[in-house]
Structure 1
Amino acid sequence: MTGSFEGGRRSGGGRSDGGREGGGRFSGRDGRGRDGRPPRGRGSAVDVPRRAAYEAVAAVHRDGAYANLVLPGVLRDLGLRGRDAAFATELTYGTLRQEGTLDAIVAAASGREVARIDPPARDALRLGAYQLLHTRVPAHAAVSATVDLVKAVAPGATGFANAVLREVASRDHDAWVAQIAPGYDDDPVAYLAVAHSHPQWIVRAFADALGGDLDETARALIEDNERPPVHLCARPGRADAVELAEEVGGLPGAFSPYAVYLPGGAPGELDAILDGRAHVQDEGSQLVAAALAQAPLDGPDDRWLDLCAGPGGKAGLLGALAVERGAHVTAVEVTEHRAVLVEQATRGLPVTVEHADGRTVEGTFDRVLVDAPCTGLGSLRRRPESRWRRQPSDLPPLTRLQRELLGAALRVVRPGGVVAYVTCSPHPVETQVTVTESARRSGYPVDLVDARPLLPAGMPGLGSGPTVQLWPHRHGTDAMYLALLQRSA
């Protein structure tokens, strides 16, 4: 993220007039360019940060883009920095996170299903409704700026948008939820889905993973809608977390000895990132990789395997730890461009990258990491569009792949060696069920190792073991799951 935003849900109103340096109007008969997008040249009456957010949100819906990939280019093309860039970022990610609830509110305010609203007008209305209900931007400024945006991207809908936004502004978020959501006592899952903008199937999955505790489920959903912090990993042997925190103006992490919390800014521009002393990595990812490296085992300990290594964060940490331990890491990645990213992330470390399918790996290893492809439900706060793209039908092919990868890991780990199975999802089918079924079908004697002692002492909310489920609302990390399996001698 570029800059820091103080005008969102926590304080101030942002620069709702920021970025108007250009003046003028969008060109074209309908206010859009030939590709259906607002022209990017100077000369628009539309507030530039809002235009940036619109372009990013529209690309997500129109092109299937990912916000974290498309937004930086939009900000760069429009020359946005500092508070203006932060405001555009807040609008983009906030609107995508709250999309489900915003759509229900826009539908109620307009008297029509959102699917029947012209897509450019629909995306502009989502942005306007987000400002009205989740920021401190004054209502008149949010309505006026959004109507200007609609005038540029869908001029025929200007009057409609004005009426809808004024209706949205007539009550706050909680009042809208009380109007449009089912009663909590009647259908708590449906209520939580509307109140906290998650599909019902994800709400059920979270509730199942939290033992049916709906109050805690609500806290998990609320945290999913907060802007996540940026975490750095200070690579062992190359940087000290305390010193790195002082260098970048951040704070040492609460749990991982390698973690640094950044207050904002663009981490990719930091000297520590550029010279390989650190990389961007969620603290939860650091903890599960470190737990594998610390798991006790007898016998040799110099052959490590990362079975699904892309894009390379965990391989980078394991490689740095391997230097200190005299070990070597084989990092396997099935996708070619991600294998290139692993090579870049592990340059100068004792890591050999193989472009291959992890299910076909041969050899014998002492420690194996299976960071399996999954639904990514544990990182929805970082990838807000994923909650609306993922479907329950995604689970069968993913869980089949997860079991095959874990089975392959159990095949190549030596007797007495340890396998860490990791997913960034708390869905029970991707965690407990996959581990149980894979161990049962492997044909090898396998014991579950209690992972809790391998995490920092005093870390709360780790459950009854032997596996561990991390949570944003408990630990401030992505919802990483960790199971440690040891092949019996």
Structure 2
Amino acid sequence: MSGAGGAGERPRGGADRRDRQGRERGAARAQGRGARTAAAPSARRRAGDPARGAAYDVLRAVDTSDSYANLVLPPLLRERRVAGRDAAFATELAYGTLRLRGRYDAVIELCASRPAASIDPPVLDLLRLGMHQVLGMRVPAHAAVSETVGLARERAGTGASQFVNAVLRAASREPLDTWLERIAEAAQPADDTTRLAVTESHPAWVVRALREALAGSGRPVAELEDLLRADNQAPQVTLVARPGLVDPDELAADAGARPGRWAPTALVLEGGGDPAALAAVRDARAGVQDEGSQLVTLALTGAPLDGPDERWLDLCAGPGGKAGLLGAIAAQRGARLVANEVQPHRARLVEQAVAGLPAGAVEEVRTGDGRTLGADEPGAYDRVLVDAPCTGLGALRRRPESRWRRSPADLAGLAELQRALLTSALAAVRVGGVVAYVTCSPHLAETQLVVKDVVRARTRAGDGLEVLDARAAVLAVAPGIDLPERDDVQLWPHVHGTDAMHLTLLRRTS
């Protein structure tokens, strides 16, 4: 197929020329997305609609200022009064484009006959948006091309819009399956990892890490492709009904939600409703929390310990989802929770998350370094949760840009921090108490290897530890869940429909 020429090249591409006064001109009516126009070329739409414009601006913010899409898009939609089906369209367009960026770049390179890196970033983002509409959404090809070209004309100029038009028309001539075959054939070297990296839109190092994580946690490596595909699916919104604060059945009725698959506290919003519209969420009696996150939290509260069960610690509590669930259960048992968070702005989010709990359930929300807490308060807690900062490879569905931001170089620093936090937690828990080590990553360097290093170091120092049966603790919450016969637990989006949460339970014995 011949390539498209000219205006999209980096040297000549019109560096991000935006008409900020005209972002939502009359051409922005939503019905223009799906309707074929019979107007003459001179009268056709000259600007993209607000939904597409918002999605494009999210991509540019992610690229130029390392913004997070889930933090940028909602206020942008509110500011521009994009709601309902248009807001859902913008959300899928932005998030889906970010998830599948690697796949679309490979298609763009074939259609444009040049490396994606040689195309001006603003124009490349326009092409990615168009590719997702043509190959990843139920948008008629003519409408996807026309609307994206209109947006390109508005934001990048006439020359860039012609380039965008040529590339997207070339892409629209073949179905997705054909393009997947072509980009797989074009991958060099054409090994299985490279093929999956390009077709399923993950960096090759992430594909290798996930393959190793499947094998290392007792699952068949043959599941890798299903896992990668699950990472590319938009997750449903899951609520947590905090025990003692809201009845799950009542919340389900109010929210139009159905029960989750595993956790008794979990509810799944049908049709992707807005959680902020629910009184229980506004009052912090409920919250938005992945079901895997709920499962590992509930497993900690049910793990057997020796002695009193009165004081609990969430060592890395921001943004507060697990703290809200822990605090609700603590209140029912007469225990109290200390929530620690190193970042002040995240500590404020924790305060909001626990605002609906009964008086006395939360002893304190504090700002402090979790690495020193064990030395400051040795043996002061009965249960400790370490939800350690990590690469987030287990939540690629929810954080669509993160797969492109992380690199193997991040692992060394994170693993050092994870070991320090787990060591601190084991110092903070009393003899007979329990620590839950949790990450939202299945990477072996952040899960099993961290635990092995810390257990080995404490054993050499003469400190006693017992690895508890985390599988049994999760099964007690979710009977019938598919878990290999191991002491630790690794959840998976393609198996359990959750984020890929890891859980290890440790009891201090001396």
CA distance in 2 between counterparts of 1:31 and 1:469 reads 47
1:401 aligns with 2:417: yes
Given candidates 429, 432, 435, the residue that maps to 2:448 is 432
* Cα shift at 1:42: 3.9
CA distance in 1 between counterparts of 2:449 and 2:235 reads 29
Given candidates 17, 28, 32, the residue that maps to 2:18 is 32
Given candidates 354, 365, 370, the residue that maps to 1:358 is 370
Any conservation in 2 of the 1:297–1:417 contact (CA below 8 Å)?
yes
Given candidates 311, 331, 335, the residue that maps to 2:319 is 311
Any conservation in 1 of the 2:16–2:122 contact (CA below 8 Å)?
no
CA distance in 1 between counterparts of 2:298 and 2:165 reads 53
Change (3 A) 1:414 1:82: same
The amino acid of 2:254's aligned partner reads E
* Cα shift at 1:312: 0.7
1:158 aligns with 2:174: no
* Cα shift at 1:460: 2.8
* Cα shift at 1:184: 11
Any conservation in 2 of the 1:189–1:200 contact (CA below 8 Å)?
yes
CA distance in 2 between counterparts of 1:169 and 1:195 reads 17
1:452 aligns with 2:471: yes
Matches for 1:20-419 after TM superposition, within 5 Å: 32-33=18-19, 39-44=22-27, 45-155=47-157, 156-182=159-185, 186-211=190-215, 213-263=220-270, 264-347=272-355, 348-349=357-358, 350-351=361-362, 352-361=364-373, 362-363=376-377, 364-419=380-435
* Cα shift at 1:123: 0.7
In the superposition, the TM-score normalised over structure 1's length comes to 0.91
CA distance in 1 between counterparts of 2:21 and 2:62 reads 15
Q: Which residue of 1 aligns with 2:11?
A: none
1:488 aligns with 2:509: yes
Change (3 A) 1:335 1:382: same
* Cα shift at 1:247: 1.7
Gaps in structure 2 of 5+ consecutive residues:
1-14, 28-46
* Cα shift at 1:368: 0.5
Any conservation in 1 of the 2:314–2:323 contact (CA below 8 Å)?
yes
* Cα shift at 1:47: 2.0
Aligned length: 459
Secondary structure of the residue that 1:429 maps to in structure 2? helix
Secondary structure of the residue that 1:211 maps to in structure 2? helix
CA distance in 2 between counterparts of 1:238 and 1:415 reads 32
Q: Which residue of 2 aligns with 1:24?
A: none
Q: Which residue of 2 aligns with 1:8?
A: none
Higher deviation after alignment, 285-294 or 70-79? 70-79
* Cα shift at 1:216: 0.3
* Cα shift at 1:214: 3.9
| Structure ranking higher in helix proportion | 2
CA distance in 2 between counterparts of 1:273 and 1:429 reads 36
Higher deviation after alignment, 38-47 or 345-354? 38-47
* Cα shift at 1:201: 0.8
Gaps in structure 1 of 5+ consecutive residues:
1-28
* Cα shift at 1:483: 0.2
Any conservation in 2 of the 1:110–1:164 contact (CA below 8 Å)?
yes
The amino acid of 2:235's aligned partner reads P
Which whole-Å deviations, capped at 9, do the CAs of 1:188-222 have from their partners, x for residues lacking one?
A: 11111111100011111111111184430110110
Any conservation in 2 of the 1:38–1:153 contact (CA below 8 Å)?
no
* Cα shift at 1:38: 6.9
CA distance in 2 between counterparts of 1:410 and 1:32 reads 54
Identical pairs, percent? 55
Q: Which residue of 2 aligns with 1:7?
A: none
Given candidates 475, 478, 485, the residue that maps to 2:496 is 475
In the superposition, the TM-score normalised over structure 2's length comes to 0.87
Higher deviation after alignment, 275-284 or 95-104? 275-284
Superposition CA RMSD, Å: 1.9
